Amino acid sequence: MTFSQRIGKVALTKDIQIDSIDTELRNSLWNVLKLQFLNQLTKASGYNNHGDSEYYEFSEILWQNLYKLPVDSISKNDHNTESIIRDKFFEAEWNEVYDLIDFIANIGYQDFIIAPFIKRINEVLETEFSGYRFINSHICPISNTVEVDEIKLALKQNITFTSLNGANIHLTNSLEKLSSRKNPDYRNSIKESISALETTCRILTGENTLGKALNALERKGFNIDDQLKSGFEKIYAFTNNKQSGIRHAIVDEHNEPDFDDAKYILLLCSSMINYLIGKSKTLGISIK
């Protein structure tokens, strides 16, 4: 954590980046692209390449298949060509940045070893809280606006009602622990998500578990399918499982949660909170 982060001048967390790429993410992606790919291509020593360098060969592939530009517009100097590639990268729309990275991962260029490149790109995407990851050899969304909106709605609803402020604190803590750029804490992010759901159940129905809360809603006229109810209740079973170590002391053999686990639980709990609040409103249950 930097000094600026410790005193609150720079945020420790950021929103999931779906339709955008901020400066830090763009810079970090370029550094991987530069160090792990472009720098590995030999450049011609003189001004005129005459197509005899790895860099020029790659440039021809790039110009023809991604940029869709005339190949005779490629500079005869590899260093000038890299400047063009760099300028286009930093001027590109967010999706075009991913186009280039995805393209490089799939061109099968000479002896380029793709696995370390993909691994490092994914590390950057996770650190900078991007909503995308390499899955196999292609960049794919792991989040979408619907998912993000679901989380934001849960935060908004919980802060709207004074009685749900406690749930809002838990949900906010979960998001912060998930999106921390320096020290993400996936295990406690999951714990906070579940605590937010428990708190919501307690406030809305006076019950302290989801199963009892759903039964309370049923007594007020809301019918829920038994299988759906069972699925909801298994969320608690997951966190109480000794293998997960979420609510128990960590044993020697446990499943350490990762970003995807924590994001899934945050999204699921947010959706369930919105579901419970929505159903309570429909049934005329007062929320203060």
Note down pLDDT in tens along the chain; length 288 residues: 566 655 556 565 667 888 899 999 999 999 999 999 999 998 887 666 566 788 999 999 999 999 999 999 999 889 999 999 999 999 999 999 999 999 999 887 666 778 899 999 999 998 898 988 887 778 877 777 777 778 878 888 777 777 788 888 888 888 878 766 567 888 888 889 888 888 888 888 888 777 787 788 788 777 777 887 787 777 777 776 666 556 555 555 567 788 888 888 888 888 888 888 888 888 887 776
Q: How far is the C-alpha of 27 from the C-alpha of 169, rounded, in Å?
A: 33
Q: How far is the C-alpha of 201 from the C-alpha of 188, rounded, in Å?
A: 20
Give the pLDDT score at 280: 82
Using alpha carbons, list the distances in angstroms from residue 120 to 101, 222, 251: 12, 49, 30
Report pLDDT digits (tens) over 166-207.
888 888 888 878 766 567 888 888 889 888 888 888 888 888
Q: Whole-prediction pTM value?
A: 0.61
Dihedral (Cα; 167, 254, 128, 61), 10-degree rounding:
-140
Which amino acid makes up residue 286?
S
Q: Is 91 exposed, middle or buried (0-12, 13-18, 19+ CB in 10 A)?
A: exposed
Give the pLDDT score at 207: 82
Q: Burial code of 62-84, b = ≥16 C-beta within 10 A, e = fewer?
A: bbeebbeeeeeebeebbeebbeb
